[in-house]
Amino acid sequence: MTPMKIEKILNGDSVKYSNIIGRTINPTLDVSWYVIEDFFVMEQGDFIVPTDENPEDFINQMDAYCESKIGQKEINFAGVPRRQYDLLMTKYDEEWSEFCFLYYYDGNPFMDIEEKYSFDDDFYSIDKLNLSDMDQVFEYYAYKDDGIGYIETIIKNETTFCARLGGKAVSWVVQREDGSMGIMYTLDGHRRRGLGEWLCKHLINDILKKDQLPYLHIWKENAPSIALAESLGFKCHSEVVWFGIKNPYLEDRRGVVLDQNELSTLFDIHLETMDEKLKSMIDQDFNHLSIHEYRESIRRFRALLFFFMPFMRPGDYRFFDMHSKRYFDKTSLIREIDVFEHGYGDIMNDSVLKQLSVLKQPLRARLILDAKRMATFRFASTSVKLMPIDNEQEPGCDWSRQCDLFKQFIEKDEQLLGYEEKYIHSKRMLAKKMKYIHEILMPNHVELENINKKLEAFQKHAKLLHDTCVNLRFVGKYELDDEPLIVKLIEDHAFYSKASDEAYLEVCRAMSEYMGEKK
């Protein structure tokens, strides 16, 4: 099928294909096409919209498409006709669905709309949303799994209108990246004042001025939005469905080049694992091993997050970085005492053991309370959004990204050199992240085996050195009176310092050789 034929099909029913047209004319979006004869699928981000000009062949054509996405866990459809959904449900398992009405506006621009709006003694001014409004808009946004970075992108790139009172945005509506109107919300205390209608008229006029079609998808149960749309002159075109299906052709493709969707699937696995390990930690009454496994699940996720940071929207990265670190930190203090006790408990006197037990009691009580709150938020209900990645040289990432991390490991941080505990911890965590990345994404790379062995050796010595630093800090902070313990800690500190230095230099040499060969 030629681009001209695709365009002819789209223009044949511009309302039905409004969400495809809106995406294709948006210069900020990366839209791709899957085309076989007279069948095509538009792909953008996590969603697809297929054509069904030949309904009798639709299932076979979609089956071939799913098979081509062998590494993709889920196929998500964006506002497609109800008949497509009904046909696909005869063959595939549904993951999720939301039923909407497609409304469109074919009227004239609204005349004489005021730039200011008054209600009783309140005077509202019209404005654009800005980044200082991002957190508030996301707070009231229904689809949290899109990530706060989605709101950031909308504010930066798309048309937005808001009503401000005293400088604060109290009502807003935007044109989404697919050209539709949405994300409309009015704060309590400002409803039933006509603000939504006022802002929608401004947005409709702006869309018409760009020679585009004002349209929107409204959830079938959202009676207030339906009433507002019809009062503005929108007409209902058809019922459409946003939904996802399980891909029956899913295969684990780690060790080969991963595309954008496969990486998102990989992230989903680690998001689910963090939830599972949290539950396991609670079920096992917060014992030493369960806390360790929970922390390791977060570390693995954060390794992927760190590695793919350049390919994520900044807002999404900040959201996941903040949440995962906050949950990790909930276990940090009790874990530090736990590690101290497990490592040196056999030489501690009874007084120190008792003192550590007393210190752990309030930390344990706090962790139990925090864990209950943490369990109300499920990482699995969110998803990581990745921008398109050109990854022809390395699985899951450009080779240069890996070398960026190698260089970061080799470079000395002069600011941290005077803080040995922080410095060794920063290098140790970077080594751990890189080794996780190699295990998760590049398990079969023979040329990385030597570096992995050296990373493991450094990590082992660096952990012991860091733990000793922490233990010495505990001794001083809580005035633990145990001379043999203190002597042993000082001896271990000297030994692990030397071993860590030697292991660090070995890793640096191996990384430098690897990067030199790759040039």
In this prediction, what percent of the chain has a pLDDT beyond 70? Answer: 92
Residues 123, 206, single domain; the answer is yes
Residue 462 belongs to a domain: yes
State the CATH number of the domain containing residue 336: 1.20.120
In this predicted structure, the answer to whether residue 443 has a pLDDT above a threshold of 90 is no
Q: Is the domain of 159 the same as that of 92?
A: no
Residue 146 lies in a domain: yes
In a domain, 236, yes or no: no
Same domain, 127 and 94: no
Residue 247 inside a domain? The answer is no
- 517 and 426 in a common domain: yes
Q: Mapped to the 3 state alphabet, what secondary structure does 299-328 carry?
A: HHHHHHHHHCHHHECHHHHHHHHHHHHHHH
Look at phi and psi of residue 211 and say left if phi exceeds 0, alpha if psi is from -120 to 50, else beta. Answer: left
- 185-187-188 Cα angle (round to 5): 130
What is the domain count for the chain?
4
Q: What is the pLDDT of residues 331-390, one digit of tens each?
A: 998 988 988 988 899 999 999 999 999 988 998 898 998 888 888 888 888 878 776 655
The torsion angles phi and psi of 12, rounded to 5 degrees, stand at -65, -35
Element of type H or E holding 438:
helix 420-441
DSSP calls for 370-412: HHHHHTTS-GGGS---B-----SSBTTB-HHHHHHHHHHHHS-
pLDDT at 396: 42
Residue 3 is predicted with a pLDDT of 65
Instruction: Tell whether 219 is covered by a domain.
Output: no
Kindly state whether residues 49 and 162 are assigned to the same domain.
no
Contact between 159 and 174 (Cβ < 8 Å): yes
**Boundary-marking domain end, from 157, 187, 212:** 212
Shared-domain flag, residues 350 and 466: no
Domain boundary pick from 212, 237, 269: 212
Residue 213 pLDDT > 80: yes
Question: Is residue 15 domain-resident?
Answer: yes
In CATH, what number is assigned to the domain containing residue 135?
3.40.630.30
Do 401 and 515 sit in the same domain of this protein? yes
Mean pLDDT of the chain: 87
Residue at which a domain ends, from 371, 390, 409: 390
Residue 460 has pLDDT above 50, yes or no: yes
What are the tens digits of pLDDT across the range 10-47?
878 899 999 999 999 999 888 889 988 788 999 987 89
Q: Same domain for 350 and 469?
A: no
Q: Do 89 and 187 belong to one domain?
A: no
pTM over 0.85: no
Confidence of residue 240 (pLDDT cuts 50, 70, 90): very high
Report pLDDT digits (tens) over 69-121.
876 778 999 999 999 999 999 999 998 999 999 999 999 999 988 888 899 88
Question: Which range (349-363, 417-431, 463-477, 493-507) has the least confidence?
Answer: 417-431
**Please, what sign has the CA dihedral across residues 119, 125, 128, 132?**
negative
Instruction: Say whether both 377 and 419 belong to one domain.
Output: no
Give the Cα-Cα-Cα angle 364, 367, 370 (nearest 5 degrees): 155
Whether residues 380 and 414 share a domain: the answer is no
423 and 300 in one domain? no
Comparing 97 with 402, the larger pLDDT belongs to 97
Residue 29: domain span: 3-104
Determine which helix (DSSP H) or strand (DSSP E) holds 95, and give its type and residue range.
Answer: strand 94-104
